[in-house]
């Protein structure tokens, strides 16, 4: 048996032994309601940063550095509201070892018992082999997983196979304000020598098979602003005699996408990279079917019924969603208003090789032309609100190869190679600023309910997940 396998055998046994302590660690973390979007709970977010700092200290960190980010920019109620700090930490600085940056976030989504939780969201309970509580899977479980792995190494006196740099933020659920700048600033200092980045902040595709994630869609969010009358008008008095902004907006919005999700803006689909044979192969073994989609959407409204089309249209083709209209009547009941200024919102999920600027030009040119065709005297403006780039990695690089070995070792099965339809914009920032490969190594399952009620992390995912992270460190540490 190789050194690695000997070490992993001892580590896995220690992880099993420490299970009660690990659950206790997660219980303490969940008990701190570190909701970043709730200004009144900001002290709790800071308390969670302190909790982490203390854990890192007890685990023997070589360095802990608390990076303050200053005052939170508007819109805020409290104009002196401080952003929660970024908690940085180092374990080891051996120039003969590789250095992995591990990112996680210690803030959570809001949660109230009244939302429909079956138990207090901030009291972790174990039930039916699940750990239920806010943050259990997003992202306190995975963050504790890394700490658990360090504890096992420490108790066994097994040296870490890599140098570790932790980067834990407290604003992920609120736009990761300040993180981009910090990464840029520390790229050549605190994050110097980082060879690779590992993020454990997404989920298995389904509930049965572990996955590694090598791609994310980007997101370009647009608004169409149409302004007519000086104020909202009464439809009895003005209906039929003025050009109504809503009529114009609905006409333009109706031209963007068909009901089967096909984007109707010329040139957009042409930017999409063609599917290669090698890529095509990747979809064959993935475990997924339309029933899982229907279960997740709570309906039978799938556009595609076959696995490959569903996954490709979720991961590697763009999509356009109409989100809503600002300024129009949006309440219950009946209001006879002619809204004077309406703002239609839609976004396009982007994929390789869509260029954000080119896309925005196509979108705004198309919308401007459609509005011009109407011949309306109202004012029109189409504009980008924000964009975040897509990300795709090589799923056959050292990171993914090591993670495949680790997964196989722990779960006895080859992981599926997946992409995600959503965005984790920080992924690309790490890749670009540090010049390092990024691996997304999820711990939780597709049904964990990350942003929903009764969020959970299965006990096996927490414990075997900690083993997987541990094995990954050793296999990646052994690569050239």
Minimum distance, C-beta of residue 174 to a second copy, in the bound complex (Å): 7
First to last CA, the chain: 20
Of the residues 55, 139, 169, 172, only one is catalytic, namely 172
CA distance 139 to 443: 9
Residue 373 main-chain phi, psi, to 5 deg: -60, -30
Can you name the residues that pair with 420 across neighbouring β-strands? 216
Nearer to a second copy, 21 or 322 (CB): 322
Nearer to a second copy, 9 or 234 (CB): 234
Minimum distance, C-beta of residue 357 to a second copy, in the bound complex (Å): 18
CA distance 299 to 144: 35
**Contact residue for a second copy among 421, 459, 477, 479 (CB under 8 A):** 421
* 263 Cβ neighbours under 8 A, 6+ residues apart: 256, 257, 269, 318, 319, 320, 348
Nearer to a second copy, 12 or 371 (CB): 371
Site string for a second copy, 29-68 (x = CB under 8 A): --------x-------------------------------
Per the annotation, the verdict on 107 as an active-site residue is yes
Cα angle 348, 349, 355; round to 5: 85
CA distance 337 to 243: 14
**Contact residue for a second copy among 228, 415, 425, 442 (CB under 8 A):** 228
Name the residue with tokens 């691996």: 439
- Report the relative pairing of strands 437-440 and 233-234 from DSSP bridges: unpaired
Residue 330 found at the interface with a second copy (CB under 8 A): yes
Cα angle 60, 62, 67; round to 5: 110
CB 435 within 8 A of CB 443: no
Please check if 414 is assigned to a binding site: no
**Contact residue for a second copy among 20, 75, 95, 412 (CB under 8 A):** 75
Minimum distance, C-beta of residue 277 to a second copy, in the bound complex (Å): 23
Nearer to a second copy, 75 or 95 (CB): 75
CA distances from 206 to 199, 288, 462 (A): 19, 7, 16
Per the annotation, the verdict on 94 as an active-site residue is no
Please check if 349 is assigned to a binding site: yes
Site residues for a second copy, 446-475, by CB under 8 A, read 446, 449-454
**Contact residue for a second copy among 240, 277, 281, 480 (CB under 8 A):** 240
**Contact residue for a second copy among 4, 286, 374, 478 (CB under 8 A):** 374
Q: Which is nearest to 306 in space by CA: 283, 318, 290? A: 290
CA distance 375 to 476: 62
CA distance 320 to 292: 22
Nearer to a second copy, 256 or 438 (CB): 256
Please check if 451 is assigned to a binding site: yes
**Contact residue for a second copy among 2, 270, 281, 334 (CB under 8 A):** 334
Nearer to a second copy, 322 or 413 (CB): 322
Site residues for a second copy, 241-280, by CB under 8 A, read 241-244, 246-248, 250-251, 253-254, 257-261
CA distance 431 to 372: 42
Site string for a second copy, 376-405 (x = CB under 8 A): xxx------xx-------------------
Please check if 336 is assigned to a binding site: yes
CA distance 79 to 216: 34
Minimum distance, C-beta of residue 258 to a second copy, in the bound complex (Å): 8
Site residues for a second copy, 125-164, by CB under 8 A, read none
412: left (phi over 0), alpha (psi -120 to 50) or beta: left
CA distance 28 to 24: 6
Contact range with a second copy by CB under 8 A, out of 58-66, 158-166, 221-229, 457-465: 221-229
Nearer to a second copy, 275 or 322 (CB): 322
Of the residues 55, 107, 139, 186, only one is catalytic, namely 107
- Say how many residues touch a second copy, by CB under 8 A: 100
Residue 303 found at the interface with a second copy (CB under 8 A): yes
Q: Which is nearest to 286 in space by CA: 369, 374, 212, 192? A: 212
Please check if 105 is assigned to a binding site: yes
Q: Which residues are annotated as a binding site?
A: 105, 138, 173, 201, 234, 336, 349, 423, 451
Q: Which residues are catalytic?
A: 107, 172
- Residue ranges for the known binding site for substrate are 201, 234, 336, 349, 423, 451
């Amino acid at each position: 048996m190789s050194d690695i396998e000997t070490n992993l055998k001892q580590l896995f046994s220690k992880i099993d032994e420490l299970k009660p302590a690990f659950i206790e660690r997660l219980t303490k973390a969940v008990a701190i309601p570190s909701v970043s979007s709730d200004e009144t709970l900001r002290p709790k977010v800071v308390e969670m940063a302190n909790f982490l700092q203390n854990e890192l200290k007890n685990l023997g960190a070589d360095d802990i550095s608390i990076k303050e980010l200053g005052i939170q920019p508007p819109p805020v109620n409290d104009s002196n509201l401080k952003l929660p700090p970024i908690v940085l930490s180092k374990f080891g600085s051996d120039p003969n070892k590789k250095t992995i940056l591990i990112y996680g976030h210690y803030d959570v989504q809001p949660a109230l018992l009244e939302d429909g939780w079956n138990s207090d969201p901030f009291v972790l309970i174990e039930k039916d082999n699940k750990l239920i509580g806010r943050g259990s899977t997003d992202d306190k479980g995975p963050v504790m997983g890394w700490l658990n792995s360090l504890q096992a190494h420490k108790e066994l006196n097994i040296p870490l196979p890599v140098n570790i740099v932790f980067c834990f933020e407290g604003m992920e659920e609120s736009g990761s304000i300040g993180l981009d700048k910090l990464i840029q600033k520390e790229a050549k200092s605190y994050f110097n020598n980082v060879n690779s980045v590992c993020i454990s902040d997404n989920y298995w595709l389904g509930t049965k098979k572990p996955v590694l994630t090598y791609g994310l869609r980007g997101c370009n969010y647009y608004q169409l602003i149409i302004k007519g009358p000086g104020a909202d008008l009464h439809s009895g008095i003005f209906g039929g005699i003025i050009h109504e902004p809503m009529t114009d907006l609905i006409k333009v919005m109706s031209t963007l996408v068909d009901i089967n999700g096909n984007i109707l803006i010329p040139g957009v689909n042409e930017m999409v990279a063609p599917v290669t044979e090698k890529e095509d192969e990747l979809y064959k073994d993935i475990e997924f079917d339309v029933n899982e989609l229907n279960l997740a959407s709570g309906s039978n409204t799938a556009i595609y019924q076959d696995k490959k089309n569903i996954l490709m249209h979720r991961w590697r083709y763009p999509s356009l969603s109409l989100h809503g209209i600002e300024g129009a009547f949006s309440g219950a009941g009946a209001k006879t208003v002619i809204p004077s200024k309406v703002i239609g919102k839609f976004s396009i999920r982007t994929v390789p090789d869509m260029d954000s600027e080119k896309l925005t030009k196509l979108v705004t040119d198309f919308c401007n032309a459609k509005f011009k065709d109407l011949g309306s005297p109202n004012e029109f403006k189409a504009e980008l609100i924000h964009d975040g780039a897509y990300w795709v990695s090589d799923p056959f690089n050292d990171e993914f190869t090591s993670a495949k070995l680790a997964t196989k070792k722990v779960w006895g099965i080859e992981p599926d190679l997946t992409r995600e339809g959503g965005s984790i914009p920080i992924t690309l920032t790490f890749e670009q600023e540090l010049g390092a490969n990024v691996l997304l190594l999820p711990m939780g399952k597709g049904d964990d309910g990350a942003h929903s009620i009764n969020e959970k992390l299965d006990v096996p995912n927490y414990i075997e997940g900690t083993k997987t992270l541990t094995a990954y460190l050793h296999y990646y540490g052994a690569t050239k």
